[in-house]
C-alpha cells in the first residue's frame, strides 16, 4: 500500500503505477477494512475511476498538476457536486449539491481523485463521531475506541491507509483532536485562510477547513493547494499564500517556543504529559529555545466556546425545515411539519446545542451569556497576541489523554466537551495549529503534540512539526488491520 503523497506522486510520475491502478488499490483497501472502521459514509468508485482515467490522459500528455491522480477523501460537511452531502445528519439524507465547495474544487483542479465522503459528528457537532446520524466510526488503532471528532472519518481513513490525504473541518478542535487520536498529522488553518464557500456552516465565526496526511509534508502540501482568497467567501483573507512545503527544511534553530503552564493540568494522563514534554525537549535539542509562558484566560475557553458555538449553530440550523432541502415529514399544519421534520431529523447532540444557543441568544439573556462570552473571547485572543510578542510558536498537548472507549462518555456531555479543552482556545483566537504524532501509551494508542502559531503563520508551525517528525519515528507506524 502506498501510504503518503510523496510516494504516490513519484510512482505516478515514473509511471510505475497508473492513476486508475492507484485509485483501484485504495478502493480495494476501503472494501477490505472499512466494514470494521466505517470511516466513509459514501464511496464513489465509478466517479473515482473516471477521474483517474482522466488523470492518466493528462499524465500521458505531460501534465504535472500537484495532485494529479492522487486519491483523496472529503469530510461530509463540504459540498460535492453530484455526490450526496449529509453532514452526518438524517435531516439531509439524500441531499445532493449542485456545486463543489471552493476547497473541493481546488483539489479537483489540481488533479485529485475523490474517493468518497467521510463520516462526521452530525453537523460537525461532537468530539467522537458517535453523534453521526448514521453510525459510529472506529479508531483503526483499537476498534473499541473512538477516532475523535468531528472529522473522525477523515482521520480514520488516513490512519487506516484508505486515503493518503483527506479534508476535514475544525471549529473547536475537530481536525487536531481526531488527528491526535488516530496518530496522523492534522492542520487547522487560520480563520479565513481557506475559503468556507461550500462548507455547510456550524459556527460561522469559528469554522475552518483543515487537512490530514500521514506526514507533515503531505498535509502542508494539501493546505497550500486549498488555501487562498475567494470572492465567494466574505471572511476569506486576501493575503498571499506562501509555499508551506518550500520552508519545511529550514529547521528550528533559534525558534522561540512557548510552553503554557495552563495546558499541563491535573487530570491529564501522565503518559500524555510525558510524551509531549519529551517532544518539546526534542525540539530544544534541535536548537529551539524553550520559554515558560502563561495564557491566563485559558480556563474560560470551554465555557466561552459552548456559548458562542451553539448560539451560531442555533441561527445556522434554523434553515433546516424540510421545505427547501433534505427530508420532510408532512403534517396537516405547517408548524407541525417543522416540528416533526426537525424532531426526527436532528440527533440529540444537535438538539442540545440548538437549545443552548437559542437560550443564550434569547431576550434577557443575550448580554449575560452571549455578549459576555464574546468579551471573554477577546481576552483569550489577547493572550495569544501577547504571547506571540515573545515567542514564535506554542507547544501543548493536543488532548488530555488518548482515545477513549466507544460509549464511555456518551451520557456525560461535559466530560465529552472536555476532550477539546486544549484545542478550543486557538479556535476562539482564530490562529493556526497542527497536530503531530509524538508517542504511544501503554495501550498502544497514539499521543499528539499541538503546535500553535500566530495568525496566518501556518508555514512556521509546519516547519517546527516537520523538524520534530524527521527526528523521530512515530509517523512511520501504522495500525495493524
Name the one residue in this structure whose C-alpha cell is 495569544: 384
Position 9 scores a pLDDT of 87
- What are the backbone dihedrals phi and psi of residue 192, each rounded to the nearest 5 degrees, phi first? 95, -10
Q: Which of the residues 127, 128, 132, 150 is marked catalytic? A: 150
| CA angle in degrees (0–180, nearest 5) for 75-325-341 | 100
> What tens-digit pLDDT sequence spans the chain (481 residues)?
667 888 888 889 888 999 999 999 999 999 999 999 999 999 999 999 999 999 999 999 999 999 999 999 999 999 999 999 999 999 999 999 999 999 999 999 999 999 999 999 999 999 999 999 999 999 999 999 999 999 999 999 999 999 999 999 999 999 999 999 999 999 999 999 999 999 999 999 999 999 999 999 999 999 999 999 999 999 999 999 999 999 999 999 999 999 999 999 888 999 999 999 999 999 999 999 999 999 999 999 999 999 999 999 999 999 998 787 777 888 778 788 888 889 999 999 999 999 999 999 998 899 999 999 999 999 999 999 999 999 999 999 999 999 999 999 998 988 999 899 999 999 999 999 999 999 999 999 999 999 999 999 999 999 999 999 999 999 999 999 8
Q: What is the pLDDT of residue 1?
A: 61
Q: What's residue 340's pLDDT? A: 87
Q: Do the bridges between strand 113-118 and strand 289-293 make them parallel or antiparallel, or are there none, so unpaired? A: unpaired
Contact 420, 398 (CB under 8 A): no
Q: Which residue has the cell 451520557?
A: 411
Residue 125's nearest CA partner among 397, 325, 356, 446 is: 356
Out of 18, 132, 174, 195, pick the active-site residue. Answer: 174
Q: Report how far residue 124's alpha carbon sits from residue 203's, in angstroms, rounded to the nearest whole number.
A: 10
Query: Is there a contact between 223 and 440 (Cβ–Cβ < 8 Å)?
Result: no
C-alpha cell at 369: 451569556
Report the alpha-carbon distance of residue 154 to residue 166 in Å, rounded.
6
Closest to 84 in 3D by CA, of 47, 52, 128, 49:
47
Contact 166, 197 (CB under 8 A): no
SS3 content of the chain, % helix, strand, coil (to 5): 45, 15, 40
Per-position DSSP letters for 459-477, written without gaps between them: HHHHHHHHHHHHT-SGGG-
pLDDT at 117: 98
Q: Which of 38, 75, 90, 106 is catalytic?
A: 75
Neighbours of 53 (CB within 10 A): 15
Active site residue 174: yes
Domain 5-257+390-476, classified CATH 3.90.1300.10, yes or no: yes
Please tell me the distance from the alpha carbon of residue 60 to that of residue 451, in angstroms, as a whole number: 40
Examine the residue annotation and report whether 75 is marked as an active-site residue of this protein: yes
Amino acid at each position: 500500500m502506498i501510504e503518503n503523497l510523496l510516494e504516490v506522486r513519484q510512482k505516478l510520475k515514473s509511471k510505475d503505477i497508473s492513476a486508475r491502478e492507484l485509485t483501484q488499490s485504495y478502493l480495494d483497501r476501503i472494501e477490505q477494512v472499512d466494514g470494521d472502521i466505517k470511516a466513509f459514509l459514501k464511496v464513489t468508485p465509478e466517479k473515482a475511476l473516471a477521474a483517474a482515467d482522466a488523470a492518466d490522459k493528462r499524465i500521458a500528455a505531460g501534465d504535472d498538476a500537484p495532485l494529479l491522480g492522487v486519491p483523496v477523501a472529503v469530510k461530509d460537511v463540504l459540498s460535492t457536486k453530484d455526490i450526496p452531502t449529509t453532514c452526518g445528519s438524517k435531516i439531509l439524507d439524500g441531499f445532493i449539491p449542485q456545486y463543489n465547495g471552493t476547497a473541493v474544487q481546488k483539489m479537483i483542479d489540481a488533479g485529485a481523485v475523490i474517493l468518497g465522503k467521510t463520516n462526521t459528528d452530525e453537523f460537525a457537532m461532537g468530539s467522537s463521531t458517535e453523534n453521526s446520524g448514521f453510525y459510529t466510526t472506529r479508531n483503526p488503532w483499537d476498534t473499541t475506541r473512538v477516532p475523535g471528532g468531528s472529522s473522525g472519518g477523515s482521520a480514520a481513513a488516513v490512519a487506516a491507509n484508505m486515503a493518503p490525504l483527506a479534508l476535514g473541518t475544525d471549529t473547536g478542535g475537530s481536525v487536531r483532536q481526531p488527528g491526535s487520536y488516530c496518530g496522523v498529522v492534522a492542520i487547522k488553518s487560520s480563520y479565513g485562510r481557506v475559503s468556507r464557500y461550500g462548507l455547510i456552516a456550524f459556527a460561522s465565526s469559528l469554522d475552518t477547513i483543515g487537512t490530514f496526511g500521514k506526514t507533515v509534508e503531505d498535509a502542508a502540501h494539501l493546505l497550500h493547494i486549498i488555501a487562498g482568497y475567494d470572492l465567494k467567501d466574505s471572511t476569506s483573507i486576501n493575503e498571499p499564500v506562501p509555499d508551506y512545503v518550500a520552508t519545511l527544511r529550514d529547521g528550528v534553530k533559534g525558534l522561540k517556543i512557548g510552553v503554557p503552564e495552563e495546558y499541563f493540568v491535573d487530570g491529564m494522563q501522565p503518559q500524555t504529559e510525558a510524551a509531549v514534554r519529551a517532544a518539546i525537549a526534542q525540539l530544544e535539542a534541535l536548537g529551539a529555545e524553550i520559554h515558560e509562558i502563561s495564557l491566563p484566560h485559558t480556563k474560560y475557553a470551554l465555557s466561552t466556546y459552548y456559548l458562542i458555538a451553539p448560539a451560531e449553530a442555533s441561527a445556522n440550523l434554523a434553515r433546516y425545515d424540510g421545505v427547501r432541502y433534505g427530508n420532510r415529514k408532512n403534517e396537516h399544519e405547517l408548524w407541525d411539519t417543522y416540528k416533526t421534520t426537525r424532531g426526527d431529523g436532528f440527533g440529540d447532540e444537535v438538539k442540545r446545542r440548538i437549545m443552548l444557543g437559542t437560550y443564550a441568544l434569547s431576550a434577557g439573556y443575550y448580554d449575560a451569556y452571549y455578549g459576555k462570552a464574546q468579551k471573554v473571547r477577546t481576552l483569550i485572543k489577547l493572550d495569544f497576541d501577547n504571547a506571540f510578542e515573545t515567542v514564535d510558536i506554542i507547544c501543548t498537548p493536543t488532548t488530555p489523554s488518548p482515545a477513549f472507549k466507544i460509549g464511555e462518555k456518551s451520557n456525560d456531555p461535559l466530560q465529552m466537551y472536555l476532550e477539546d479543552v486544549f484545542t478550543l482556545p486557538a479556535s476562539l483566537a482564530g490562529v493556526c495549529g497542527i497536530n503531530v504524532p509524538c508517542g504511544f501509551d501503554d495501550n498502544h494508542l497514539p499521543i499528539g503534540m499541538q503546535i500553535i502559531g500566530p495568525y496566518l503563520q501556518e508555514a512556521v508551525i509546519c516547519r517546527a512539526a516537520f523538524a520534530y517528525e524527521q527526528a523521530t519515528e512515530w509517523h512511520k507506524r501504522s495500525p495493524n488491520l
